[in-house]
Structure 1
Amino acid sequence: MSQIEIKLERPRVELLFAKYQEVIGDDYLGYRNHVYRTITYAMHFLDNDEQYEQLVETAFVYHDIGLWTDRELAYLEPSEILALSDNAQHQWGLDPDALRGAIHWHHKISPYKGPHAKVIEACRKADWIDATKGAVRKGMSKEHIQQVEQAFPNLGFHDTLLRLAKDYGGSTLVGGVKVTLGIVKW
């Protein structure tokens, strides 16, 4: 079993978050750790190939951000728009189709098989691992998941998602249905 590389500091992630930290507010540390966990898993699936690192880091900073910036339960499109806009405005040079795809397909239930499949599929699997708190492992060992969760504690992130579903949807049930219809891809 290969070791999982855990980077405790990611300067690009912190730089990208700086613009949005205030709007995320009290939910910031929980979301930040979710982002670090998912980046770690995705990069492991990509054999820590540096050619994907900026894209993966950027995609995960933005992947759920529409929950806070647009206060939307169907947050994929608002998150994509922000990521693509910032990519163009700041001339990061990330492939817009790969960036959009990593965000758009991260809740897809079945494997992604389209353009940029390697990186999009790594991001999809990484988010499923973290969204389920490791119940769905996508080939990741329990030991690796425990190491990553220890490095980046949950800090109530999953509770935050339930709270936002209730706040934006009127109830946890209605919010949960709206989230499912708005973000889950088949």
Structure 2
Amino acid sequence: MTLSDIIIRTEISRVEELLGRYRSQIGDDFDGYRNHVYRCVSYAMHFLNNAPEHEQIVETAFVYHDIGLWTDHELAYLEPSEAVALADNKKYNWRLNPDVLRGAIHWHHKVFRYKGPNQDIIEACRKADWIDATKGWIRKGMNKSAIAKVESAFPNCGFHKTLLRLAKDYGGSTLVGGFRVTRGIVKW
């Protein structure tokens, strides 16, 4: 399998079920966030050789990785997103490893390579989000044609504009909000 031979699953029941619980809170941003989640899951699972044992944790981590933007209305949304994911993991008795779930969410904006426990999953999630957050400008080894294939399957639906709007709404201005979100979520 090459990096251009990416597998795209257009309907993932776990993603639909988990995101569905937050549809009203996400509101008009739902389609954009949903497609962002699917793009990230596609990239991360590819980096993990589509190993079935990683599906649940990757899918769950990406459903929750930015959810604090809507549940807590926070620009520093990593910790709120982790808290919602961990609470739901316990509430619904998913029995997902909380350290892996927390780590995949906490480190997904890390600038440099993640090294530590659960490195394979956390690093795959980190690389996947960087690819999508930059619209493929940063590819993390992913082939351009694979990125184009994923983006074609899951259109942006204004997701990146949503991030700018929320930075302005929560931060008072795009500049102040952009600074606050960067300070709150970027890890070195």
Give TM-score scaled by structure 1 length. 0.99
Matched, 1:96 2:98: yes
Q: Any idea what the Cα deviations from partners look like across 1:97-122, whole Å, max 9, x if unmatched?
A: 00000000000000000100000000
Q: Any idea what the Cα deviations from partners look like across 1:127-181, whole Å, max 9, x if unmatched?
A: 0000000000000000000000000000100000000000000000000000010
Could you say which residue in structure 2 is the equivalent of 1:167?
Answer: 169
* Residues 27-176 of structure 1 aligned to structure 2 (within 5 Å): 27-176=29-178
Q: Where does structure 2 lack aligned partners over 5 or more consecutive residues?
A: none
Q: Any idea what the Cα deviations from partners look like across 1:18-43, whole Å, max 9, x if unmatched?
A: 11000000000000000000000000
Aligned to 1:143, the other structure's residue is in SS state helix
Aligned to 1:115, the other structure's residue is in SS state coil
2:23 to 13, 21, 25: 21
The amino acid of 1:26's aligned partner reads: D
Distance 1:13 1:84 in 2: 16
The amino acid of 1:182's aligned partner reads: G
Distance 1:122 1:50 in 2: 14
How far has the Cα of 1:91 moved from its partner? 0.7
Distance 1:92 1:28 in 2: 24
How far has the Cα of 1:65 moved from its partner? 0.3
Give TM-score scaled by structure 2 length. 0.98
Question: How many equivalent residue pairs?
Answer: 186
The Cα RMSD (Å) is 0.5
After TM superposition, the runs of 4+ consecutive aligned structure 1 residues lying more than 2 A away are none
Matched, 1:9 2:29: no
The amino acid of 1:80's aligned partner reads: E
